[in-house]
Structure formats: C-alpha cells, structure tokens
A and B are shown apart, each in its own frame.
Chain A
Amino acid sequence: MTVQGLSLIKPPYATISAINLDRGDIVWQVAHGETPDQIRNNPALKGLNIPRTGQSGYNIGTLVTKSLVIAGDSLITTTPSGARGAMLRAYDKSSGKEVGTVLMPAPQSGSPMTYMWNGKQYIVVAISGGAYSGEYRAYRLPDER
C-alpha cells in the first residue's frame, strides 16, 4: 500500500546482512539497491536528504568470495549523469563497505558466479528487465598497462 507514491513501510526496502553464526549477531547491514526514481523524485520528500533506501523487488542471489559480496540491483534507476540502468555492486565482506560498482543495462535476474580463465578472474551475471531480454554478461578487470 502506498500513500502519495510512498510505501507505508519505512526504508530500507531491502538489505544485505552479514550474520555471525557463532554469536547470532548482525555484523553489518547495508541497504542494497539505489533509491528508486519515484522515491528520490517524490514531491513529498523534496528538500529531505534520504539515504540510500535499497529496492524492493523479487529476491536476488549474492556471490560471496574470499573478500567480497557481489550483488546487482533489482530495479532500473537513473544515475546522476542521466544514464539508466542497474548497478552491479561489490561490498567488502568484512565491513559491508561498497568497494566497486558497474552500471548494467538491466537488473540482475540470476545469481552471479565467478570463474578464472587464462589467469583472469571473471564475474558472470544474468540480467533482464524492462525491454531488455535475458542475457548473461561477463565482466573482468581491464589489463594492466
């Protein structure tokens, strides 16, 4: 249920939480997903500084490596430069601090996975959404110069 286009539920609308299974404590928790356009641009919130809200949507999977947690946004949003897309995000596994992002043309629609080939590490993720048909995209770091 929404009022003036805003959910009755207080944000964050989605989080990634790291839980210490020995103690049962939440070690860190971050709002995952850019603030949706209709929230950021809502006239009722004009003048307010709203921290990243995360995005409700259908559930997505994460990729966990030795040092990172990697997951994509589930909605398309507009970046400050005007480009539209969904971010693939990497968080420091120990702190939850965001350490890298890549703008994808559509939201993540399947869990990312990673593999190494010819000495280079790849991340492959399924994306689709809006007019963008499903596809796999593979990313790797550029060659060092």
Chain B
Amino acid sequence: MSRRPFISLVFVAALTAQTTRSVWDGVFTADQAKRGQEVYAKECASCHGSDLTGGESAPPLAGPGFLSNWTSLTVGDLFERTRVSMPGNDPGKLPRAQVADLIAYLLSANRFPEGKVELDKQTEALKQIRIDAEAPKK
C-alpha cells in the first residue's frame, strides 16, 4: 500500500493579544481619580513625591519620564506592577479596588481624559487598554 503524503494546513492565530481601547478613550472617572489621590498621598507620596516627580530611589509617575517607560504597554501591566510590587515597604497590601483608584489618579495626573465609567479592577480587562503617550491623530 502506497502512502500518500499527508498535507496539513495549520492556521496560526496571532498570539499577541490586541488591545481594543487606549487611555485616550476616557477609561476612568473623576471621582475615582479623586479617591486614588487620597491613596497616593497616604501610600506613595513619601517616595514618589507629592507632585509625582519621583525621588532619590523612586521614578517619576507623571510626565515624560513616566510615559516613556510605559507607552505601548497596557493599563493592565501598570496595574499588576503596582499591585504586586507596591508600596515598597509592604508590597501587595493594597486591595484591587484601591489599586484601580490609584491608577485612575495616575492617568488623571498624566492628563488623560476622564470618562463616565470607572476603571475596572480586573487585570485582564485592563490589559485591553493601551497606554499611548501621544493622543491619536484625528
């Protein structure tokens, strides 16, 4: 019995998850950012500075120095980095809701527009939101 060559076609889906929104789409509310500002003052300002410009051993959390390092990543990346490794003296102590408020404050401080729906506290949802330093061209 002759063997026929077995030809298979394999379709490979793109492995890279696609983001569906960006920080320019109004992904947090003003009230949420205000709550986050209170969290920031209590938990973060002593190292990162009251004006988010960073300190001797802590990077800035606003302005070009912050955006250069985070542009093209996602809000989910920023959320997880913060949730897992901050605050430096007691990493992981902040509940997800407070971390989401905090991220909303950081986005607000970096002059991204507020919206009508609060930032989610689930990482997977936040990974759909891309951080772009520059506003999309109209």
Contacts and interface: CB of A to CB of B under 8 A. Distances in A.
Contacts of A75: 64-65, 68-69
A47 interface: no
Ranked nearest first, the 9 interchain pairs of A and B with the lowest CB-CB distance are A130-B69, A131-B77, A75-B68, A129-B69, A76-B69, A57-B65, A58-B54, A131-B81, A36-B68
Interface of A: 2, 5, 7, 36-39, 41, 55-59, 74-77, 84, 106-107, 109, 129-131, 133
A36 B69 contact: no
A83 to B, nearest CB: 11
Interface of B: 54-56, 58-60, 64-65, 67-73, 77-78, 80-81, 85, 133-134
A130 B73 contact: yes
Given A37-B68, A56-B64, A107-B69, A133 B85 contact: yes
A55 B133 CA distance: 16
Nearest to A37: B68
Contacts of B69: 75-76, 106-107, 129-130
Most buried by B among A41, A109, A129: A129
B15 to A, nearest CB: 18
